[in-house]
Protein backbone atom coordinates (compact mmCIF):
# COMPACT_ATOMS: atom_id res chain seq x y z
CA UNK A 1 0.00 0.00 0.00
CA UNK A 2 1.54 3.38 -0.98
CA UNK A 3 2.18 5.90 1.79
CA UNK A 4 0.99 9.51 1.89
CA UNK A 5 1.98 12.11 4.50
CA UNK A 6 0.30 15.49 5.04
CA UNK A 7 0.84 18.08 7.77
CA UNK A 8 -0.45 21.52 8.69
CA UNK A 9 1.36 24.63 9.82
CA UNK A 10 2.08 25.31 13.46
CA UNK A 11 -0.58 27.38 15.22
CA UNK A 12 0.83 29.81 17.75
CA UNK A 13 -0.96 30.98 20.89
CA UNK A 14 -0.12 34.64 20.33
CA UNK A 15 -2.97 35.26 17.89
CA UNK A 16 -6.61 34.32 17.39
CA UNK A 17 -7.60 31.75 14.77
CA UNK A 18 -8.82 33.15 11.46
CA UNK A 19 -10.38 31.94 8.24
CA UNK A 20 -6.98 30.91 6.86
CA UNK A 21 -6.40 28.68 9.89
CA UNK A 22 -9.72 26.92 9.37
CA UNK A 23 -9.23 26.63 5.60
CA UNK A 24 -5.85 24.96 6.01
CA UNK A 25 -7.10 22.39 8.52
CA UNK A 26 -10.27 21.60 6.53
CA UNK A 27 -8.41 21.31 3.21
CA UNK A 28 -5.72 19.06 4.71
CA UNK A 29 -8.38 16.87 6.33
CA UNK A 30 -10.26 16.55 3.02
CA UNK A 31 -7.07 15.55 1.20
CA UNK A 32 -6.19 13.00 3.88
CA UNK A 33 -9.68 11.47 3.73
CA UNK A 34 -9.55 11.26 -0.08
CA UNK A 35 -6.13 9.57 0.01
CA UNK A 36 -7.38 7.01 2.55
CA UNK A 37 -10.38 6.22 0.33
CA UNK A 38 -8.00 5.95 -2.65
CA UNK A 39 -6.08 3.22 -0.82
CA UNK A 40 -3.08 5.15 0.53
CA UNK A 41 -1.62 4.48 3.98
CA UNK A 42 -2.20 8.09 5.06
CA UNK A 43 -0.57 9.92 7.97
CA UNK A 44 -2.16 13.26 8.84
CA UNK A 45 -0.20 15.30 11.39
CA UNK A 46 -1.61 18.51 12.83
CA UNK A 47 0.88 21.20 13.75
CA UNK A 48 0.97 22.56 17.28
CA UNK A 49 2.88 25.10 19.33
CA UNK A 50 5.97 23.32 20.62
CA UNK A 51 7.07 26.30 22.69
CA UNK A 52 4.04 26.93 24.89
CA UNK A 53 6.16 26.72 28.07
CA UNK A 54 8.40 29.44 26.66
CA UNK A 55 5.37 31.59 25.81
CA UNK A 56 4.07 31.29 29.38
CA UNK A 57 7.52 32.03 30.80
CA UNK A 58 7.79 35.19 28.67
CA UNK A 59 4.29 36.25 29.75
CA UNK A 60 5.20 35.85 33.42
CA UNK A 61 8.42 37.82 32.92
CA UNK A 62 6.44 40.65 31.34
CA UNK A 63 4.11 40.70 34.38
CA UNK A 64 1.11 39.33 32.46
CA UNK A 65 -1.13 36.97 34.36
CA UNK A 66 -0.97 33.77 32.36
CA UNK A 67 -4.32 32.53 33.67
CA UNK A 68 -6.03 35.71 32.46
CA UNK A 69 -4.35 35.34 29.08
CA UNK A 70 -5.60 31.76 28.79
CA UNK A 71 -9.07 32.86 29.86
CA UNK A 72 -9.14 35.52 27.14
CA UNK A 73 -8.46 32.80 24.55
CA UNK A 74 -10.92 30.26 25.98
CA UNK A 75 -13.40 31.20 23.23
CA UNK A 76 -10.99 32.17 20.43
CA UNK A 77 -13.51 31.91 17.61
CA UNK A 78 -16.03 34.25 19.28
CA UNK A 79 -14.90 37.07 16.98
CA UNK A 80 -15.95 35.10 13.87
CA UNK A 81 -19.46 35.77 12.64
CA UNK A 82 -21.93 33.09 11.64
CA UNK A 83 -22.93 33.11 7.96
CA UNK A 84 -26.50 31.96 7.35
Which pLDDT belongs to residue 38? 96
Q: What is the pLDDT of residue 67?
A: 59
Is 60 exceeded by the pLDDT of residue 70?
no
pLDDT digits (tens, 9 = 90+) for 15-66: 667 888 889 999 999 999 999 999 999 999 887 665 667 777 766 776 555 5
Q: What is the pTM of this model?
A: 0.58
Return phi, psi of residue 4, to 5°: -140, 130
According to the model, what pLDDT value does residue 17 have? 73
User: What residues contact 42, with CB distance under 8 A and at least 6 apart?
Assistant: 3, 4, 5, 6, 32, 35, 36
CA-nearest of 36, 47, 51 to 8 is 47
pLDDT recorded at residue 35 = 97
Amino acid sequence: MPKFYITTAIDYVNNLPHLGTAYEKIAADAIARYKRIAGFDTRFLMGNDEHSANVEKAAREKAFIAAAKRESHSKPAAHLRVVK
